[in-house]
């Protein structure tokens, strides 16, 4: 993703160790189309590649955080296109966001519905403005939550909560979402980005390596890419051993390594 311009539907700004991703399609309530999903993936990749980034914030422009997947984008897809393109691509991108090496804060400046709630669920923390509504309305139009609404949301919010939102189509207020554990805090209208920055500052005050590893371990406990987390941590540990130094040195000298088991 190049430096954002005003017309970009997803914008990424990095400054002072904080990356801010903004959904910028307010005329469509930030409903996600193919371009936006692809740009979200590019933003996640850029954040993971940038060693200066230690925390990220995800928010929306205008009155909504995200109204979900744009029906105009998926409504005419064939069954094969729906599964292989729309759903699979969304899963891949949302997984990238959930598995960022740095903590992600979702600043819900307005409604988070359907795919918007699934997007918010990729974050480690969710802060919500008081006027926002939250729900999974897909079954009301004969569709199901397709971007891990029945999977990641169950792991993070509990099956009982997801049943209410999906099977009954319950749309909850910000305060109700707080009581159900869907969001971590509710703030006044217009103040969510400032609240997210305060949380970001608290994250920045912690040890960056410890924070990254702690996030990976918490994700693994939730079943979020546990296999990769194990290999990441194990690989980091082994890389510090004298055996690795001996093996790499011997390879460079084209010699047989002599390992000491340390």
Q: What is the rounded (10 degree) CA torsion for 73, 144, 97, 61?
A: 50
Q: Are 47 and 103 in contact (CB under 8 A)?
A: no
Q: What is the DSSP letter of 69?
A: B
- Does residue 34 carry a catalytic annotation? no
Q: Are 149 and 163 in contact (CB under 8 A)?
A: no
Rounded CA separation 52/219 (Å)? 22
Rounded CA separation 243/253 (Å)? 15
* Residue among 34, 138, 224, 231 flagged as catalytic: 138
The two structure tokens encoding residue 224: 């979020």
Q: Are 100 and 48 in contact (CB under 8 A)?
A: yes
Give one DSSP letter per residue of 164-184, joined into a string: HHHHS---EEHHHHHHHTS-S
Spell out the residues 6+ positions from residue 242 whose beta carbon is closer than 8 angstroms to its own. 260, 262
* Residue among 118, 170, 222, 224 flagged as catalytic: 118
Pick from 62, 68, 73, 133: which is nearest to 94 by CA?
A: 68
Query: What are the phi and psi torsion angles at 108 (to 5°)?
Result: -85, 95
- Does residue 188 carry a catalytic annotation? no
The catalytic residue positions are 118, 138
């Amino acid at each position: 993703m190049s430096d954002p311009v005003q017309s970009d539907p997803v914008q990424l700004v990095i400054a002072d160790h904080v990356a801010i991703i903004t959904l910028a399609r307010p005329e469509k309530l930030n409903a996600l189309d193919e371009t936006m999903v692809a740009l979200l993936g590019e933003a996640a990749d850029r954040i993971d590649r940038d060693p200066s980034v230690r925390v990220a914030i995800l928010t929306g422009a205008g009155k909504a955080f995200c109204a979900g997947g744009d029906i105009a984008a998926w409504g005419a897809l064939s069954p094969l296109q729906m599964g292989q393109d729309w759903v699979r691509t969304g899963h891949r991108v949302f997984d990238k966001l959930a598995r960022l090496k740095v903590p992600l804060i979702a600043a819900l400046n307005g409604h988070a519905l359907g795919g918007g709630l699934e997007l918010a669920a990729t974050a480690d923390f969710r802060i919500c403005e008081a006027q926002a509504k939250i729900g999974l309305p897909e079954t009301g139009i004969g569709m199901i939550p397709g971007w891990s609404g029945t999977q990641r949301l169950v792991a993070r919010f509990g099956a009982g909560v997801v049943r209410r939102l999906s099977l009954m189509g319950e749309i909850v207020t910000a305060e109700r979402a707080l009581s159900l554990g869907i969001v971590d805090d509710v703030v006044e209208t217009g103040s969510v980005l400032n609240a997210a920055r305060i949380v970001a500052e608290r994250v920045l005050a912690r040890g960056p390596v410890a924070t990254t590893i702690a996030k990976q371990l918490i994700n693994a406990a939730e079943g979020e890419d546990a296999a990769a987390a194990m290999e990441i941590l194990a690989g980091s540990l082994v890389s510090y051993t004298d055996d690795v130094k001996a093996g790499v040195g011997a390879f460079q000298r084209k010699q047989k390594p002599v390992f000491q088991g340390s």
